[in-house]
Structure 1
């Protein structure tokens, strides 16, 4: 079963594309027009809507999500400048380790809400939900991440009781209404970024899946073990080597386990696994999660540098960066107001939710903050998976650029 939050976001942005396509159609072909769009016009409508959806996702990712995660903004690339010396590919250290950070943020279950009143305003005004943790927990209906076939019948009845249409294909259960899942994502904080990963991903992943194993029980996957092995299979350098390459060795040299973590119990485990002086062999995935978070950030120093570098080179080397493609805005251009909202920064994920679902999300609502300020380590929601959608069509190749020199110029 695919991750429910990611499935909901896929559907949300498909709806956004269709909404924009309808706006373009109505603009080009008013209601009482005798003309009908031909194939060329239909293709134009589709492409214009896709252009705005892509720009919306990039704006949300770079301007809203990434600063919430790292604690600071990247410099915006000059709209007239493309750095031909930058390869806009995905670095192996990013795809094989750094962006697997989301696995430690996953909860053991997803919250769903009965969204009959459509109101998920955290401030509780205007008939919305009370801003009360106990009430939120009481209202939530949990769905286990590793929900198996034995619970499908119970889940079906539960969904029908709430008026949802359902579709069951093998062991995969899909609700035709994603509002309950999206409302849950709005309220539910993710897990802190650390070395702890929930049992659903460590002990029960793909434990039972009719579509994959013909109805027979299988040994569950340990996602953390797979992440570590993936890094070794890809030939990713050790944590110490990557840290030195990104940050330099002068002030970031590792000469003891204490330079990585101050937790004595963890240090003893590391010594047992890697040896008394084995920090030079430490796997990147393990080391990046051990780091103490930077002030105001949910990430440690090496992890933040790697993620910011990847997003920076994607921006610098992209000749179709959204601020370039939207510069053609002008009178008579389809979706002028929508494009202008993206360029001025006023288009947010809250706006996408308001326009495409029954959720009455406040216009100034920040989708990447918890209901209460609980510090940087818990300042995000599961919608941290959104950039995975932005990058899903990217080829996963190693970047041949010099990371240290690029990193110096990508931060404000």
Structure 2
């Protein structure tokens, strides 16, 4: 969009109004789905560099790089003020504990009367309903923390409660990312090598924690191949005999609740539409933690490969093509260059032997040879996405390297990292111990009325070490270390 809010189009006119902003994608005449010759693509907003116009084009980042819960609170003071109630440290919510409405009701697609576009710290929350449901989770958890902090520190002001709850939410997100999410996609050897394990708590003020281009527009888009073709929501039906307190640890024979699917809808019908969040946000979260994502590989589901943002006129986009084009827009070097950066074996030929595509299977080598004239032309997204996975990992070696390197920077370059015992900006020892005992599963239980859950929600439940258990058997965040006495902490 332009600064005035007008939509930039690049395909409909021979002379687009802003040609310098356009980088449209040519569609071959024999494409099996698209019947147009051009796919819309607008370049990222560039950073103005008055000192040296000969420098390479750099892009503007509108959100913070730190893992600081800016998706909940926004990245500017103006944004956070729009989200606050300014009463008892709470964030604004609508009926049912959902997000508040935003002023611009044209920012999403509404199909049901009474629904509205949500306001959150990140405006992309409507892209898929599962993302919107995560926003609801953390807004509810902020307000839960605010009410608990108010009870134990009745003399605290609205500002003090809000900032303390916000600080806890930021720490919780850091903990979830490093202790639950990264172990689900990166093996232990990679995490240990890149200082992502709990033992590594060092801080280096020379490390720039900013988000690098290759991570933002390529490596961290690997999850686009994990998107399934269906969204759904479920409900839990309690058994007739109720389980005693603490079930899941000692009482193994207590009957489990039954998970029943209520509705299943095609993914392409849910883009930019908050309907599923309004209908049953709790069941939507239950769907997320009980259903497997697709494998992260070179296969991308038709719902996003051909039907991304499908409208009533049958216009849509191709997410894979957009990911590749965004890398080119940002000037990302090719796949072979990042192999060198990561210290991996060099690639010079389209073959599986020495100096070849040693981390690809024969089928993918053949497809890459067909798509590219030279191995140096292979886009980073395509080359790394089609690698065979490392052992006990969801990714190949190149993306594992780039994602681990970025998360390392986030951690050791952040002075406010939750695990560091900084006497001014950090948490006390008791507070860190309390945070370390909390799991994302418990937050899901408390914020979405669940009675049973697997301890590690990033992984599917199983009958061994990650079996479903009573939510009451999981510890809540102990807020007693936050109680402030008359003489201070």
Same fold (TM over 0.5): yes
Q: In the alignment, does 2:416 pair up with 1:288?
A: no
Name the structure 1 match of 2:108: none
Give the Cα separation in 1 of the matches to 2:446 and 2:351: 50
Q: Is the 8 A contact 1:86 1:316 kept in 2?
A: yes
Q: In the alignment, does 2:23 pair up with 1:23?
A: no
Name the structure 2 match of 1:341: 434
- Residue 270 of structure 1, CA deviation: 2.0
Give the Cα separation in 2 of the matches to 1:295 and 1:100: 21
Cα distance change of structure 1 residues 316 and 298 upon mapping to structure 2, 3 Å threshold: same
Three-state SS of the structure 2 residue aligned to 1:322 is coil
Q: Is the 8 A contact 2:186 2:400 kept in 1?
A: yes
Name the structure 2 match of 1:43: 159
- Which blocks of at least 5 consecutive residues in structure 1 are unaligned? 30-34, 131-135, 150-169, 209-215, 374-412
Three-state SS of the structure 2 residue aligned to 1:114 is strand
Cα distance change of structure 1 residues 46 and 195 upon mapping to structure 2, 3 Å threshold: same
Q: In the alignment, does 2:267 pair up with 1:145?
A: yes
Give the Cα separation in 2 of the matches to 1:116 and 1:47: 38
Match of 2:215 among 88, 94, 113: 94
Three-state SS of the structure 1 residue aligned to 2:265 is strand
Q: Is the 8 A contact 1:122 1:129 kept in 2?
A: no
Give the Cα separation in 1 of the matches to 2:204 and 2:349: 37
Give the Cα separation in 1 of the matches to 2:395 and 2:182: 11
What CA deviation, in whole Å up to 9, does each residue of 1:2-39 have, x standing for no partner? 2111111111011111111011100112xxxxx7x6xx
Cα distance change of structure 1 residues 172 and 358 upon mapping to structure 2, 3 Å threshold: closer
Q: Is the 8 A contact 1:111 1:181 kept in 2?
A: yes
- Residue 234 of structure 1, CA deviation: 0.5
Give the Cα separation in 1 of the matches to 2:221 and 2:383: 13
Query: What's the Cα RMSD here?
Result: 3.0
Match of 1:103 among 224, 227, 234: 224
More helix, by proportion: 1
Name the structure 1 match of 2:456: 366
Q: In the alignment, does 2:442 pair up with 1:351?
A: yes
Cα distance change of structure 1 residues 70 and 227 upon mapping to structure 2, 3 Å threshold: same
Give the Cα separation in 2 of the matches to 1:89 and 1:329: 23
Q: In the alignment, does 2:319 pair up with 1:223?
A: yes
Name the structure 1 match of 2:134: 9
1:308-319 matches, within 5 Å, as 308-319=404-415
Name the structure 1 match of 2:418: 322
- Which blocks of at least 5 consecutive residues in structure 2 are unaligned? 1-125, 464-489
Name the structure 1 match of 2:292: 189
Q: Is the 8 A contact 1:12 1:356 kept in 2?
A: yes
Q: In the alignment, does 2:367 pair up with 1:269?
A: yes
Q: Is the 8 A contact 1:140 1:184 kept in 2?
A: no
Normalising by the residue count of structure 2, what TM-score does the alignment of the two structures yield? 0.59
Cα distance change of structure 1 residues 77 and 233 upon mapping to structure 2, 3 Å threshold: farther
Match of 1:198 among 301, 320, 331: 301
Give the Cα separation in 2 of the matches to 1:125 and 1:103: 40
Relative contact order: is structure 1 or structure 2 higher (C-alpha 8 Å, sep ≥ 6)?
Answer: 1
Q: Is the 8 A contact 2:421 2:428 kept in 1?
A: no
Three-state SS of the structure 2 residue aligned to 1:111 is strand
Q: Is the 8 A contact 1:350 1:361 kept in 2?
A: no
Q: Is the 8 A contact 2:236 2:257 kept in 1?
A: no
Match of 2:182 among 47, 61, 66: 66
- Residue 256 of structure 1, CA deviation: 3.2
- Residue 269 of structure 1, CA deviation: 2.6
What CA deviation, in whole Å up to 9, does each residue of 1:202-246 have, x standing for no partner? 1111111xxxxxxx5152100000000111111000000011112
Q: Is the 8 A contact 2:269 2:310 kept in 1?
A: no
Normalising by the residue count of structure 1, what TM-score does the alignment of the two structures yield? 0.70
Give the Cα separation in 1 of the matches to 2:298 and 2:168: 38
Q: Is the 8 A contact 1:77 1:316 kept in 2?
A: no
Three-state SS of the structure 1 residue aligned to 2:268 is coil
Cα distance change of structure 1 residues 284 and 27 upon mapping to structure 2, 3 Å threshold: same
Cα distance change of structure 1 residues 148 and 21 upon mapping to structure 2, 3 Å threshold: closer
Cα distance change of structure 1 residues 330 and 244 upon mapping to structure 2, 3 Å threshold: closer
Give the Cα separation in 2 of the matches to 1:268 and 1:78: 41
Give the Cα separation in 2 of the matches to 1:106 and 1:16: 26
Give the Cα separation in 2 of the matches to 1:14 and 1:125: 36
